[in-house]
Structure 1
């Protein structure tokens, strides 16, 4: 019996932008700068792993509260 691999939820740039309260273009810049790993769809659109976005979010809130 094979277990189906768990599929990581992917977020669009607009969804990531909403989470961070930034412009979607900012999310694209973060991906180009290496802050986020982007996955390209067959149509060439960027998608981001939800777990990585959540990790970055928790890390950024810790940095802000530590200042």
Structure 2
């Protein structure tokens, strides 16, 4: 277990997203999202079955940061 991968919390209030759902938000392939998690760019949680899930709040924060970075580069 890496520092960015945790076990599924029992009482989490945050919505958990699949790699496919995260990929759709970023308009990338789900394998790209899995690589980001492996590289530590985004935190993930493992379900008891071993599947990755991502906290919606963290994903939205990352998306907002990337969007604001692009706006800054484009002069907006």
Q: TM-score under structure 2 normalisation?
A: 0.79
User: Which has the larger share of helix?
Assistant: 1
Q: What stretches of structure 2 of length at least 5 have no aligned partner? A: 1-10
Deviation at 1:62, TM superposition (A): 0.7
Summarize deviations over 1:7-41 as a string: whole Å, max 9, x none. 21000000000000000000001101111101000
- 2:45 is aligned, of 39, 47, 61, to 39
The whole-number CA distance in structure 2 between the counterparts of 1:23 and 1:58 is 19
CA distance in 1, matches of 2:39, 2:71: 24
Query: TM-score when scaled to structure 1?
Result: 0.89
Q: Which runs of 4+ in 1 moved over 3 A?
A: none
Corresponding residue to 1:61 among 57, 61, 67: 67
Alpha-carbon RMSD: 1.1
2:26 alignment partner in structure 1: 20
Q: 1:50 matched to which residue of 2?
A: 56
